[in-house]
Chains A and B, each alone.
Chain A
Amino acid sequence: MLELTGLTAGYHGGTVLHDLDLTVPAGSVHAIVGHNGAGKTTLVHTVAGFIRPSAGSVRLNGREMTGQPAHKVARAGIGLVPQGRRVFAGLTVAEHLRLSYRPPGRGDTSRPSRWTPERVLELLPRLGERRGNRGTDLSGGEQQMLALARALLGSPSVLLLDEPTEGLAPLLAKQVYELVGTLAEEGIAVLLVSPSPAQAAECARTVTVLTSGRVTLRVDGADARTDPTALHEALELTPVRTAAR
């Protein structure tokens, strides 16, 4: 379970994220939606340990993670699939898998499941066919699979997905969302940043709307599916025309 309380963070003195509370129970998907600049990626980067929060805390299964460096956050069981995939350009798929494979310690019972390269390849067979190819030689979809594999090989209890369908064809995007559902069923807590409120509502148990770094709405995924009006209003998608005229 991932718990954020009073999280406040930003870059070099500027605050992007204000006093954010958020919980992702094990085995569920929590979706974040919001406009560009709302602080979605800042949120993900703060949880991943890239940014040190100026206030508030990040807890993983009750364990204090606030201010830990990124590699310790990763070792503790928080996996990240970053925006733009960011696979290693010069490493082959096989090297990615080898570098990322990090079985949890024997005493660590908090992990929902153990991932090995074999199991990852079973789930994502396409990567097996591309073992010898470098990161840059992969298509967008394959890079996305590789970024997911990289995160899974740490056997995470929490998975941070930052716009995982960015740049993917609709069919592939659908597969990614199905995959996210499967992983949550395994017991992983998924924090999903989604560009699309509809998709977020489709697969998430809870949807949080972020506006200028603050939570402006939190709704049940099921409610948002049946009646998206509240979500739509919170996102206020049409001010441009009125401003122009």
Chain B
Amino acid sequence: MDLLDAHFVPAVDGVAYGLLLFVVAAGLSLAFGTAGVLNLSHGTLYAIGAYTGAELSDGTWGGLAVGLAAGTAAAAAAGAGLSAATIPLARRGHLAQALLTFGLALIGGNLLIEFFGADDLPVRVPEALDSSVTLLGHRYPAYRLCFILMAVLLAAFGTWVLTRTRVGAAVRASADDPQMLATTGHSPRAVHTGVLAAAGALAGAAGVLGAPIIGPGAGTADTVLMLSLVVVVLGGLRSLWMTLLAAIAVGEVQTLGVSLAPDLAPYLLFAAMAAVLILRSQFTEPATAGAHGGGDGGSDPVAWLRRRLSASFSGRRAATATAEKAVAEKAVADRREPVPSASGGPLRRLLSGGRDDGGLAARGRKAAPLLALLVLLIALPTLLDAYTLSLAGSALALGLLAISVAILTGYAGLPTLGQTAPFAVGAYATANLADAGWTAGPVQIVVAAIAAALFSLVTGPAVIRARGTTVLMITLAIGELASAAINQLKSLTGGADGLVGFPPTQALFGGEGMVEESEVYNYALAVAVISVVVTVLVLRSPAGKLLTGTRNAEARMRASGHPVGRYLLIAHIGAGALAGVGGSLMVTVQQYLSPADVGFEIAAFALLAAVIGGSTSVIGALLGAGLIVFTRDWVASSWPGHGPLLLGALFVAAVYLLPRGLAGLRLGSGPGGRGAAKADQLPPDHDSVPAGKVAP
């Protein structure tokens, strides 16, 4: 009883927190489940509401009402805009959407800070509620009780609309079969826009009302997005009740959990999320395996979720495979598959991996841009100042991480947000080695690679059974668990303060530690070149074909006797080792290490670099990472405080202008190709390179 007594207030807080998350997550799952939009800017919609509410709150009921109306309307409008932005991407899959919405989230976050300032805004609730009431012998803030009531009403209203009205029926019908919805005279496009506007309105309303609970600030959008993703994953989109249950559970972990077991709370959420996802992907494994890469699209987790949302498994609708349909499906499939690399200039062929085996002359031509790039990279120390050169070194480290993501995403078909975990393992291993006096570069690299590979061996089985968006979520959970561990294991990682002051790396055994930027850069370049060459050789060997086969036609590969799981695990371990090498390089280049260097943002950047690079292109991923570091650190230094905005613009532009990534660029041979290669490779004498300039 005492225990209950002591934790009564956090427990009620958890309910309020959970209801807040439920309202937000309901919008996220509505957009995801019925409009098919994986909206990584959903947290930003909440922030729009929260900022608007805080700005207009003046301690009166009128202020709250105006804030609620304005915040809801603003977020709804943003949601409708998002609908217009994502409709052209409908056939491009979820990575393109993720790239776009992440870019929009960065832009939106930056603009909000621009307008409202970087500090957390104070929120004033109406005076009548700015008191506490006595609840079962405890003092409890009246506003929170009132919030619980309002959130319940909002949730009930939303549920009623979705399940009891004609509009709700249209929304559910649209999730099931938009074409058939159209035959009943309803515009699927209008439903799409309406759903995203409604999702925005829910987030906005939650932002206004929840501002006193999760207030407006720089980290609001990320926190809200992460927590509502967890809720959606735990709830499973199967029913709103499950989502509600999941939301309350997450709320309790965030409040009661922290007060009961502060050490465990950081792990609990993401461990639960990973466990649920892994279990679920095991249950659905046979069907997934059968459909992956050639069946009826049953492997797409969104399609799966949509089916779940609408009804239980529908086995009756047997696909009638007429030749007409086959023509249509083939046409769609062809659009998805990368155009073979026969046409286009040498850069393009190089970027797309150049799979055709030409003669020596052809190989020479193909290698020419690669050599030009190498020459440029070698010449960089003479061209750049020390600061920019160290940025270039960081870009190489991040580039290896991006390549490792590209191997998993592009070659193995496992889009990952968790490669920062092996990256971090490599980085912290290196820093600790250096601290212990092991400063020889080769030792650090090899130990980092082995440690990261072992880590990937352990996490691999959880990753390789799932496909598509589920992998994103599982790897996100792995990345977040690693972050939590980094913050807790202070003796190894220095916790939030990070590690600094360890001795510099020696290029080889013995010799002096590298202190000059150019020395460090050359070391990073040498390691990166060796890693890239090894990676390219492996990917272009028949082993690479095994991965391509697994990604293109997994069912065929299994039916031909290939142990697909073993291939994917080996790819996962190899990619992990590469990320570990990248982490080691980053420590050597930066000479310090903080949790932010291996956080979610870096994971997202690495994925986006791989996507911008063209997913299946090693060099493309490297260039993509370069472009991101260049934009974030170099261009942004001439416009301080706008790094996220510029990056966001880069991502948005990349989605629309480079549908196949940098590797899809159609560049003529000769000077045009080299010019563009240079543009990608960050010439020092330009103030900025607009992302659009690299497009044809």
8 Å CB interface, A65-111 against B? 69-71, 74-75, 79-80, 82-91, 95, 98-100, 102
Of the listed stretches B105-113, B149-157, B313-321, chain A binds: B313-321
The smallest C-beta distance from A126 to any residue of chain B, in angstroms, reads 17
Task: Verify B324–A39 contact, CB threshold 8 A.
Answer: yes
Binary CB contact string for chain A from 118 to 149 against chain B (1 if under 8 A, 0 otherwise): 00000000000000001110001001000000
Task: Verify A166–B183 contact, CB threshold 8 A.
Answer: no
CA distance A166 to B331 in the complex (A): 26
The interface on chain B, measured as residues whose beta carbon lies within 8 A of the other chain's beta carbons, has a size of: 41
Task: Verify A70–B170 contact, CB threshold 8 A.
Answer: no
Which residues of A lie under 8 Å from residue B322 when comparing CB positions?
A: 36-37, 41, 83
The smallest C-beta distance from B166 to any residue of chain A, in angstroms, reads 6
Number of cross-chain contacts by CB at 8 Å: 122
Q: Give the interface centre of B166, B179, B184 by most chain A CB atoms within 10 Å.
A: B184
B325 at the interface (CB under 8 A from A): yes
Task: Verify A79–B183 contact, CB threshold 8 A.
Answer: yes
The smallest C-beta distance from B423 to any residue of chain A, in angstroms, reads 40
Q: Tell which of B186, B309, B319, B327 touches A11, judged by Cβ atoms closer than 8 Å.
A: B327
CA distance A140 to B394 in the complex (A): 62
Nearest neighbor of A167 in chain B, beta-carbon distance: B318
CA distance A154 to B610 in the complex (A): 49
Task: Verify B327–A90 contact, CB threshold 8 A.
Answer: no
Q: Tell which of B176, B184, B307, B324 touches A74, judged by Cβ atoms closer than 8 Å.
A: B184
Which residues of A lie under 8 Å from residue B314 when comparing CB positions?
A: 89, 136
Task: Verify A71–B187 contact, CB threshold 8 A.
Answer: yes
Given known pairs A14-B327, A37-B324, A89-B310, the reply for A82 and B183 (CB within 8 Å) is yes
B378 at the interface (CB under 8 A from A): no
B185 at the interface (CB under 8 A from A): yes
The smallest C-beta distance from A47 to any residue of chain B, in angstroms, reads 11
Given known pairs A41-B325, A90-B309, A90-B311, the reply for A84 and B186 (CB within 8 Å) is no
Task: Verify A70–B317 contact, CB threshold 8 A.
Answer: no
CA distance A79 to B182 in the complex (A): 10
CA distance A86 to B335 in the complex (A): 25
Task: Verify A90–B184 contact, CB threshold 8 A.
Answer: no
Task: Verify B312–A102 contact, CB threshold 8 A.
Answer: no
Which residues of B lie under 8 Å from residue A37 when comparing CB positions?
A: 322-324, 326-327
Binary CB contact string for chain A from 151 to 179 against chain B (1 if under 8 A, 0 otherwise): 10110000000000010000000000000
List A residues at the B interface (Cβ < 8 Å). Answer: 10-14, 16, 36-37, 39-42, 48-50, 69-71, 74-75, 79-80, 82-91, 95, 98-100, 102, 134-136, 140, 143, 150-151, 153-154, 166
23 A-B pairs within 8 Å (CB atoms) are namely: A11-B328, A12-B328, A12-B334, A69-B182, A69-B189, A74-B185, A80-B183, A84-B318, A86-B180, A86-B317, A88-B310, A90-B172, A90-B175, A90-B176, A91-B172, A91-B176, A99-B170, A99-B184, A99-B186, A134-B311, A136-B314, A140-B316, A150-B184
